[in-house]
A = this chain, B = another copy of it.
Amino acid sequence: NEVVNIHLSKKPEWFLEKINPLGKVPAIQKDDKIVYESAVCCDYLDQVYPGNKLIPDDPYQQARDRILVEHFGQVTTQYYKMLFGPSENCAAAAETLKKGLMEFDKEIQKRGDFFGGSEPRMIDFMVWPWFERFHATEKLVNQIFISDGSMPNLTAYMDRMLSVPAVQKCRLSTENHLEFYQSVKNGAPNYNVGL
């Protein structure tokens, strides 16, 4: 298999024409089969490569995981407001973000070492990319929403996730994230950071 990275603010014509007319990433092509939308890609891969099933078999647990992802949408909304919204709203967005994360601090206490339970599962890999950026974000916007020690369960979770081999293989460092967001703020996003 081959990974093709594209320029996200100047998407190539072939991507829109042959892969995803909606323009979003990620997208998967295997022979003549094309799949896109993050959640759909995750479910599809889990079904066609069943070696290490990452999505629960139990319908209710499956539903609860998808609902948790929906709740996480409240976190990501505040995240973007904080980074790209008017700067006078930044502190309020950080506060709301923190309140949203508190819910996850409680949730992981109920669930175990990971949101998936005793092992990291799909739900963890779906929310992790946001956690990975939090330290860079705190520096960039000069707001503290996770490093003040008020969410010990989530902090321990982040440490645990950093030791997961799949995370180590794919992660970008805080420096990478800082470099990327700086390039966005300068009006010339550098999508090659960390590649």
Chain A residues in the interface with B (C-beta under 8 A): 21-22, 33, 35-37, 39-41, 43-44, 47-48, 59-60, 62-64, 66-67, 70-71, 74
Contact B37 A59, beta carbon cutoff 8 Å: no
Cβ-defined partner of A44 (8 Å) among B39, B43, B59, B71: B59
Q: Can you spell out 23 A-B residue pairs with CB atoms less than 8 angstroms apart?
A: A21-B71, A22-B70, A22-B71, A22-B74, A33-B60, A35-B60, A35-B63, A35-B64, A35-B67, A36-B67, A37-B66, A37-B67, A37-B70, A40-B66, A40-B70, A41-B63, A43-B59, A43-B63, A43-B66, A44-B62, A44-B63, A47-B59, A47-B62
